[in-house]
Structure formats: C-alpha cells, structure tokens
Amino acid sequence: MIPYKRVLLKLSGESLMGEKQYGIDEKKLSEYAAQIKDVVKLGVQISIVIGGGNIFRGLSGASKGFDRVKGDQMGMLATCINGLALCSELQSMGIKARLLTAIRMEPIGEFFSKDKALESMQKGEVVIFSGGTGCPYFTTDTGSSLRGIEIEADAMLKGTRVDGIYTADPEIDPKAVKFDDITYDEIYTRGLKVMDLTATTMCKENNLPIVVFDMDTPGNLLKVLKGEKIGTYVHN
C-alpha cells in the first residue's frame, strides 16, 4: 500500500549545487531526476517546487545594495532556470514533465493554474512549479506550502541534506537528537528552523503534513513514498 496518492516535493536550489559553489551540478541533477523517475513508476502523482538559492537570493542581493523587490524577482527567475534544468533532465530520461510558472513567461513555461497542474499529474506527468509564489518577500518554502495546498497534496516532502528535524543543527551540535515526528506547534515553541514561519503556518492552518528527509541518499524518495519511517513527520 502506497500511503500517498499525490505529493509535492520541495527541493532547494542550494542542493542542486552538489559539490560546486554555485549553479547546477549535472551529477546531482541527474541523481534527483533518477529518484523522481522511480516514484513516477509507482504511479504516485508528483509535483515539484524548486528553489533558486544556488543562483540568487533576494535577501543576500539586498545586503549588497540591490533593491529587495528586484533582488527577489532575480531569485524567482533563478528558480525558473533550475526548473528548466530539472524538466529537461527528466525528459531526457523519458519522463513526461511540464514546467508551470508563477509569473507569465511563455514559451519558457505555462502560466500556473490548479486545473493544468492536476490534468498533467493525472496523466502521469511530473509538474514542476517555478517562480515560487510569484511575489517578492516570500520563499520557495512558502511557494511549496501554497502549491501543495492548492493541488490538494497528501503531503509536502521536503528533501534536504539532513535526515530529518533535530533538536539543534546536527552539522554543528553532535548532541542533537532527531525527531521521528513533531507538531507544527512544537516547531514554533522550540524555535526550530525547519522552514520560514509563513510556510510552516500555511501548512499548519491547512493541515498539510510535511516529511523532512535526506534526498541526497539515492532511494530515499522512494522509501518515503512507500511509507518507510525515515525522516521526520510534521503534523498538527
């Protein structure tokens, strides 16, 4: 039994860098695409939100003197570059994939609509949402919460470099302990930096569970979708 019929996978732009300092690592891109391909074969409807931090972040642009809104627009464009890369990698592996953008930019991608997204997913296509929410001052985590809620996903799967949520950053604190599951409220009270508060609140208010897991270990995405207890499950 597969516990999920439709999911929203969030991949950060930074994770696409792999070993590099900037941009897209082709090896990492193809590893991710291969994991996604295995899930498509299971018959799970999958859509993806991809970040842009490997190319540009509005906040760091603003700290260097860029106008914040323009910086965020550059960040949103960066997510479209990553979306195109993933779309093309999936297609080269024989997977049908479609890029939908939060801001009109045909012919790069079609303008997002819930109906288009569902129609594609129901046909077995992978849908990639790029451009975040389309608005400055948001992040792609919030874009994922929004799209996940809109498409009525059963869960948001947040693929990261660590294997779940810990009491502290395990890359810094060796005593950090991992949670198998946690509530949104506990994330607030413990001040855990899982996602930004806007994204977490949207998931909480709309009852969209999140699975935080290590996407850098090949096979993990499939394990999550088969219901294996890896990562951390976030719920109300």
DSSP structure class, residue 3: S
Scanning the chain, the segments in alpha helix (DSSP H) are 26-42, 58-63, 68-92, 114-122, 140-150, 184-190, 197-205, 220-225
From 35, 46, 47, 58, residue interacting with ligand UDP (rule: CB under 6 A): 58
Min CB(127)–ligand UDP separation in Å = 17
Pairing of strands 155-160, 126-130: unpaired
DSSP structure class, residue 162: S
From 24, 39, 44, 57, residue interacting with ligand UDP (rule: CB under 6 A): 57
Min CB(35)–ligand UDP separation in Å = 17
Min CB(180)–ligand UDP separation in Å = 25
Q: Are 147 and 176 in contact (CB under 8 A)?
A: no
At residue 34's C-alpha, the angle toward residues 56 and 124, to 5°, is 95
Binding mask 82-121 for ligand UDP (x = CB under 6 A): ----------------------------------------
Please report whether residue 143 would count as binding ligand UDP according to CB under 6 A.
yes
Q: Site residues (CB under 6 A) for ligand UDP?
A: 12-14, 51-53, 57-59, 71-72, 75-76, 78-79, 132-133, 135-136, 138-143
